[in-house]
Chains A and B, each alone.
Chain A
Amino acid sequence: MARRVTARRIWVSTAAAWLFGFLIFLPILWMVLTSFKTELEAFSMPPKFLLFHWTTENYVTVQERSDYLHHAVNSLLIAGGSTLIAMIIAIPAAWSMAFAPTQRTKDILLWMLSTKMMPSVGVLVPIYLIFRDFGLLDRRAGLVMILCLGNLPIVIWMLFTYFKEIPKDILEAARMDGATIGRELVYVLTPMAVPGLASTLLLNFILAWNEAFWTLNLSTSDAAPLTVFIASYSSPEGLFWAKLSAASTLAIAPIIILGWFTQRQLVRGLTFGAVK
């Protein structure tokens, strides 16, 4: 017997979903609100929700004190570059593991994932020394490399699960129909994998954009992305909550806008295989 969906049940679950969504969104909302407060109001007790003196002065100060655009361009180059290189490496890797697996394919996949099980800080010193000796500290190329390597296991795994879902029969049908490997790729495989490629690309970009551990430790100014820009507002001379919030809002705005417009792709990508 199908479960009966009463109006009451719908009402309750809708309310619960909204509440849950709001709870998750609250820190971001609070940050945005705080960025429009004065420093005094930012940590007034009790906190003020909407009835405060709205001001944009924090944004002006942040812009005067540090160069947002410089950091934003760095973020874009580092996140974009590492994503692009990761995709170029991961696509063939995932193809071969999905369509021409060997006995060890499973082990390789697990081994790759296992690299993500160790906390990054465990290899901070050796990586730092390598970066120092090769002159990669505070260089965008270095950050592109480290972020690319860090995300590669996840990217390969995501693409692998995607490609796995493409039935082998269809590729064989294309082969019977006379498609060469190149044409098989262009006419059959790629169109079928586009949603997977797109969501992997997006997720990888977001992960790289928000990555803070390596970017904070391996860059200071020249290559510093937006994470460093935010961190510079929690300085030893005291916390400036309002300015920190303004800086954070500026830093995450591009990625939130990107996420907003691509949310359908993202959800589909993350639940792929789980829900059919």
Chain B
Amino acid sequence: MGQITLQGVRKSFGPVNIIKDANLDIENGSFVVFVGPSGCGKTTLLRLIAGLEDVTGGQILIDGKNVVDVPPAKRGLSMVFQSYALYPHMSVRGNIAFGLKMAGLPRPEIDRKVEAAAATLNLTPYLDRKPRELSGGQRQRVAIGRAIVREPKAFLFDEPLSNLDAALRVQMRLEVTKLQKQLGTTAIYVTHDQVEAMTMADKIVVLNAGRIEQYGSPLELYERPANLFVAGFIGSPKMNFVPGEAAGEPGVATLGIRPEHLKIGKEGEGWPGTVSVAEHLGRDTFLYVDAGTLGMLTARGVGEFSLKAGDRVWLSPEPARLHRFDKEGAAVRA
């Protein structure tokens, strides 16, 4: 079991409000990613759930029980740190076993569980090594092993892959997702990388300046962003924003259209503009177009394009893919 509910959670450091009234319902067994720019409070929110920071106000419920006054170890959660935080003086075995030892489990049971966890993570040959004798990916695995061996109600991951190189990160991303599905344990995962968020999550929490901007599945966020911030944060390259009036829709403050939903034409229809930069990535071409009063627009074309800087183009948005926002930046739905 691992149902986590936040009710009006607030956190301030002195006069600074880091988390402002967070409400969230995390279902048992789901993989939830906290994503947002640096300094948005995502790690703080995770640490509040872990119990490494005390809340200023509100309640954190784990399986229906308020845990704000419960010390970290008694919350039944385990955490994987960005720096791995392995105990350098202990072997891999010692690292994985530490939590069980603290819980006072009998020796044979500890051994059995440690070996099972090591087998799951392909760590069996390294059990007697010290962390410094391992590669980055192996250390990461030990940190995960330490987390799973305690059979927690939920895993908390604090940017666990950011210290790995790009190739390994993709591989570990898959492994972590697979492992979580296999164990069926609730997981909360903090990252600033929206690709990680989109690929790993069942549900994403987008945070900005201590506020939860939107909570939903990756595709919901992509297709129906709740406001300007989410619209701009999810998706790469970023969504284009144009003033409603200039685009011929005086009723809305801002009109949003993703680069992939702009049709590029060499003549006639849509918004006229001049290509200022063309990036040819092979399959995709990104065009940065100066569209006069509409500002700079990014368009994504599939396939090879003969367009280059200085060319005149017409960009026509797919009407069904337009996003409309009001003056406060909230999405307006028809």
Q: How many positions in chain A have a CB within 8 Å of any CB in the partner chain?
A: 16
Distance of A187 from chain B, by nearest CB (Å): 7
Contact status A176-B73, CB under 8 Å:
yes
Partner of A176, one of B77, B82, B87, B88: B77
Q: Which residue of A lies closest to B156 (CB)?
A: A176
Judged by a CB distance under 8 angstroms, whether A21 is at the interface is: no
| A183–B104 CA distance with the chains assembled, in angstroms | 12
Contact status A172-B103, CB under 8 Å:
no
Contact status B99-A178, CB under 8 Å:
yes
| Chain A 178-210 residues near chain B, CB threshold 8 A | 178-179, 183, 187-188, 191-192
| Interface membership of chain A positions 160-180, coded 1 if the CB is closer than 8 angstroms to chain B and 0 otherwise | 000000010110111111110
| Interface membership of chain B positions 124-148, coded 1 if the CB is closer than 8 angstroms to chain A and 0 otherwise | 0000000000000000000000100
Distance of A268 from chain B, by nearest CB (Å): 15
| Chain B 36-54 residues near chain A, CB threshold 8 A | 50, 52
On chain A, the residues within 8 Å of B146 by CB distance are 173, 177
| A177–B99 CA distance with the chains assembled, in angstroms | 4
Contact status B87-A188, CB under 8 Å:
yes
Contact status B98-A187, CB under 8 Å:
yes
Q: How many positions in chain B have a CB within 8 Å of any CB in the partner chain?
A: 23
On chain B, the residues within 8 Å of A192 by CB distance are 87-89
Contact status B85-A173, CB under 8 Å:
yes
Contact status A183-B102, CB under 8 Å:
yes
Tell me the interface secondary structure of chain A in the complex.
helix
Q: Which residue of A lies closest to B75 (CB)?
A: A176
Contact status A175-B85, CB under 8 Å:
no
| A169–B52 CA distance with the chains assembled, in angstroms | 10
Contact status A167-B85, CB under 8 Å:
yes
On chain B, the residues within 8 Å of A175 by CB distance are 52, 71-73
Distance of A27 from chain B, by nearest CB (Å): 40
Contact status A172-B87, CB under 8 Å:
no
Judged by a CB distance under 8 angstroms, whether B79 is at the interface is: yes
| A174–B102 CA distance with the chains assembled, in angstroms | 9
On chain B, the residues within 8 Å of A183 by CB distance are 102
Contact status A177-B102, CB under 8 Å:
yes
Partner of A178, one of B81, B85, B88, B102: B102
Contact status A176-B79, CB under 8 Å:
yes
Judged by a CB distance under 8 angstroms, whether B78 is at the interface is: yes
Contact status A178-B79, CB under 8 Å:
no
On chain A, the residues within 8 Å of B17 by CB distance are none
On chain A, the residues within 8 Å of B89 by CB distance are 191-192
On chain B, the residues within 8 Å of A167 by CB distance are 83, 85
Q: Which residue of A lies closest to B88 (CB)?
A: A192
Partner of B81, one of A173, A187, A188, A191: A173
Contact status A173-B79, CB under 8 Å:
yes
Q: Which residue of B lies closest to A171 (CB)?
A: B85
On chain A, the residues within 8 Å of B82 by CB distance are 169
Most chain-B CB neighbours within 10 Å: which of A170, A176, A188? Answer: A176
Distance of A158 from chain B, by nearest CB (Å): 20
Distance of A195 from chain B, by nearest CB (Å): 10
Q: Which residue of A lies closest to B147 (CB)?
A: A176
Contact status A176-B102, CB under 8 Å:
no
Contact status A169-B78, CB under 8 Å:
no
Distance of A179 from chain B, by nearest CB (Å): 5
Contact status B102-A172, CB under 8 Å:
no
Contact status B72-A176, CB under 8 Å:
yes
| A176–B85 CA distance with the chains assembled, in angstroms | 11
Distance of A21 from chain B, by nearest CB (Å): 31
Contact status B73-A172, CB under 8 Å:
no
Distance of A43 from chain B, by nearest CB (Å): 55
On chain B, the residues within 8 Å of A176 by CB distance are 50, 52, 72-73, 77-79, 99
Answer whether A178 and B87 are a contact pair too, CB < 8 Å, given A169-B81, A172-B81: no
Q: Which residue of A lies closest to B52 (CB)?
A: A172
| A179–B73 CA distance with the chains assembled, in angstroms | 8
| A174–B103 CA distance with the chains assembled, in angstroms | 12
Partner of A174, one of B71, B77, B83, B98: B98
| A220–B103 CA distance with the chains assembled, in angstroms | 58
| Interface membership of chain B positions 63-97, coded 1 if the CB is closer than 8 angstroms to chain A and 0 otherwise | 00000000111100111011101111100000000
On chain A, the residues within 8 Å of B81 by CB distance are 169, 172-173
Contact status A169-B102, CB under 8 Å:
no
On chain B, the residues within 8 Å of A174 by CB distance are 87, 98
Most chain-B CB neighbours within 10 Å: which of A177, A183, A187, A191? Answer: A177
| A116–B287 CA distance with the chains assembled, in angstroms | 66
Distance of A194 from chain B, by nearest CB (Å): 9
| A175–B99 CA distance with the chains assembled, in angstroms | 9
Most chain-A CB neighbours within 10 Å: which of B50, B78, B86, B98? Answer: B98
Distance of B130 from chain A, by nearest CB (Å): 12
| Chain A 126-176 residues near chain B, CB threshold 8 A | 167, 169-170, 172-176
On chain A, the residues within 8 Å of B50 by CB distance are 176
| Chain B 93-114 residues near chain A, CB threshold 8 A | 98-99, 102-103
Answer whether A178 and B52 are a contact pair too, CB < 8 Å, given A192-B88, A192-B89: no
| A114–B277 CA distance with the chains assembled, in angstroms | 60
| Chain A 39-53 residues near chain B, CB threshold 8 A | none
Distance of B208 from chain A, by nearest CB (Å): 26
User: 7 closest pairs, A vs B, by CB?
Assistant: A178-B73, A169-B85, A177-B99, A178-B102, A173-B85, A191-B89, A169-B81
**Chain A positions near chain B (C-beta within 8 angstroms):** 167, 169-170, 172-179, 183, 187-188, 191-192
- What 6 new A-B contacts, CB under 8 Å, besides A175-B71, A176-B99? A169-B81, A172-B72, A174-B87, A176-B72, A178-B73, A192-B88
